[in-house]
Structure 1
Amino acid sequence: MTTIDTDQRIRDRLQELAGEIERWTDQEGIQPTKIPSLTLIRNSEVTNAVHMIYEPAICLVAQGRKQVLLGQESYEYGPLDYFLVSVDLPISGQVIDADHEHPYLAVRLDLDPAQILQMVQETELQAAASPAKRALCVSRTDLGLTDAMLRLVRLLETPDHIDVLAPLLIREILYRIWQDQQGDILRQLAVTGSNTSRVAGVIKQIKQHYDQPLRIEELAAAASMSSSSLHRYFKEVTGMSPLQYQKQVRLQEARRLLLSEAADAAEVGYRVGYESPSQFSREYARLFGLPPISDIKRLRECPVVI
């Protein structure tokens, strides 16, 4: 079978997947399903950039295109691509190709590292240690992965079968990514003591204590690394330093608090770990484009759904 024939079969599956997403989505944005780790995404117009902590997941686009920024790195993906993240990463994302006749339609499957480890243990897959890699990639999908994702979404038609069949289909999806050229991103999470798994542990610590001073020596010791090694591997995996990562977490939490509570900017800045209101306002504006009060006013007037 030629590459052209295979691509056409993938496009046919994606067209079917787009139909299923439209069938199960009745509003804009991210919509949960009866499969807990599966969400469907629909946007009928181009969106502004939205900042978020993106947890481990695979996203397969059936229609439209999206752009994601990780620090200074830009990633763009659409049909025939999948987007993979293996550790929690602070990113911004926006839909760049969508309209009411051809909305952006995508499937997101959250990934549980425990499922990856279980698959490795039960199937005796090999996961050799290798250099740390960026925990985010855009890769070309294949027919097997696209078909497995389509079958998972179609399982929504028979909810009584979800408990038995969904875990099998999710395992198939994980296996197909594992075998892909970008599968090393998953494989490193399954290697005990790998630099990627150690960085994942440090990320967990930073997120849990984001409002506290960052003590690199303590984080490095807990990860069984030197401070210089932690800096190097953390940046290789996340694209930023531990301090830059903490800053992103702090500012995104501050934005959430300002949107959900009647608190002033200075108070929120203190709550997320800033000692200086001016520094908080300056760094907030650098990330989100406007100072806290102006940014929250803009969001309340023009809420973004993505």
Structure 2
Amino acid sequence: MSQQLQEQRETLVKLIDRHSGRENGVHPTLIPSLFLFRENQATKPKHGVHSRSVCFVFQGEKEVLLAKERYRYTPAEYLVATVELPVISQIIDASPEAPYLALKLDFTPEQILEVMKESGIHPSPQDQAKRGMFISPVGAPLLNAISRVTQLLDTPADIPLLAPLLIKEILYRVLQGKHGGTLAQLAVEGGGAFRIKEVIDYIKEHYVTSFRIDELAERANMSIPTLHRHFKEVTAMTPIQFQKQLRLQAARQLMLAESLNAADVAFQVGYESPSQFSREYARMFGLSPIQDVRRLRTLDA
């Protein structure tokens, strides 16, 4: 590790620790798409939908599980999710003396397309979509841009003018990185990744409603076998498995937030059979709905 990279990481560690108020959790910032993270101990696996984002760890280590694939990253790497994906995430290295400190920058396909147009990046559409999550090494130019955008939190008056420019630079650096082509394909209209993104967005918006695979294939302008192949390449799961994860995660949140019983929640998230819901819930979370919610409430207390 170069001296320059080490100094930039140490600066970011101090910035994030200070702007998090030295309190654990997720911390929104005055830059709407920028979030800071702090934890002083390793965490249990947590289910959630990973936003479309670029993620950096500056102290500690994190692991993200997409289906059966593990993505572990440290201060030497960054993680990118090019589409929204149901995952299991876990902080695996953190302590009171050296807390986990990280940040996430959300982005939109429109921002990627704008950066590509302004920088003259013109990738050709590819028939074969690529996995919607990847890890790349952090280089000095990218780390420098991240450092500068985070330092804007010390000068809020500069944010409206400078933050959009620095975010463009960050996205440009990612596009120029090892897996930049995967991110670029997200914005190429007509390409496989672009069409799968639209199917993912549709399922996320209508996960409660049952769908037929031929309807999704028609929406993507693909044959059914091609849709299955491309969808699994991007998400590591089938459309039905993707929908199931969204339904079960939503059900868990409803039971925690509104104290609803399992049968009522099952119908709310699209299940016709409460018994099937309970079986699939236990398969995903390891406990029945009642036992799982009781355990989570005990942990929160």
Band of TM-score, shorter chain: over 0.9
Greater relative contact order (Cα < 8 A, sep 6+): 1
In 2: Cα distance, 1:287 partner to 1:303 partner: 20
Q: Trace 1:106-255 onto structure 2 (pairs within 5 A).
A: 106-130=102-126, 131-255=128-252
Q: Deviations over 1:181-217 (max 9, x none)?
A: 1101211012111100100000111111111112111
User: Which of 74, 83, 87 is equivalent to 1:87?
Assistant: 83
The one of 92, 98, 102 equivalent to 1:96 is 92
Amino acid at match of 2:105: L
Would the aligned equivalents of 1:75 and 1:138 in 2 still touch at CA under 8 Å?
Answer: yes
> Which of 5, 23, 40 pairs up with 1:10?
5
CA apart distance, 1:286: 1.1
**What amino acid sits opposite 1:59 in the alignment?**
C
SS at match of 1:302: helix
Aligned CA-pair RMSD: 1.1
Q: Which moved more, 1:291-300 or 1:241-250?
A: 291-300
Distance 1:11 1:303, change over 3 A: farther
Task: Tell which deviates more after alignment, 117-126 or 48-57.
Answer: 117-126
Displacement of 1:126 in angstroms is 1.6
Give yes or no for contact 1:11–1:80 (8 Å, CA) kept in 2: no
Which residue does the alignment assign to 2:63? 67
1:154-201 deviation per Cα after TM superposition (whole angstroms, max 9, x unaligned): 001111110100000000000000000110121101211110010000
Give 1:300's match in structure 2, choosing from 283, 294, 297: 297
Report the count of equivalent residues: 299
What one-letter code is carried by the residue in structure 2 that aligns with 1:112?
Answer: T
Q: Match for 2:17 among 19, 22, 43?
A: 22
- Tell me the amino acid that sits aligned with residue 13 of structure 1: Q
1:303 positional shift: 3.0
Distance 1:10 1:129 in 2: 35
Q: What secondary structure does 1:213 align onto?
A: coil
Q: 1:105 aligns with which of 80, 101, 110?
A: 101
CA distance in 1, matches of 2:285, 2:256: 14
Give the Cα–Cα distance (whole angstroms) in 2 for the partners of residues 226 and 37 of structure 1: 36
- Identity, % of aligned pairs? 47
Instruction: Verify the 8 A CA contact 1:10 1:80 in the aligned structure 2.
Output: no
Which of 28, 33, 36 is the equivalent residue of 1:37?
Answer: 33
Letter matched to residue 246 of structure 2: V
SS at match of 2:186: helix
Unaligned runs of 5+ in 2: none
Shift of 1:301: 1.3
Q: Does 1:283 align with 2:280?
A: yes
CA distance in 2, matches of 1:293, 1:92: 21
- Is 1:127–1:190's contact at 8 Å kept on the other side of the alignment? no
Q: Give the TM-score, by structure 1 length.
A: 0.95
The whole-number CA distance in structure 1 between the counterparts of 2:139 and 2:262 is 47
Q: Distance in 1 between matches of 2:114 and 2:137?
A: 26
* Structure 1 unaligned regions, length at least 5: none
Aligned-partner Cα distance in 2 for 1:105–1:298: 27
C-alpha contact 1:128 1:187 (8 A) present in aligned 2: no
Q: Deviations over 1:57-111 (max 9, x none)?
A: 0111100001110011111111111011000100010100000000000010001
Report the TM-score, using the length of structure 2 for normalisation.
Answer: 0.97
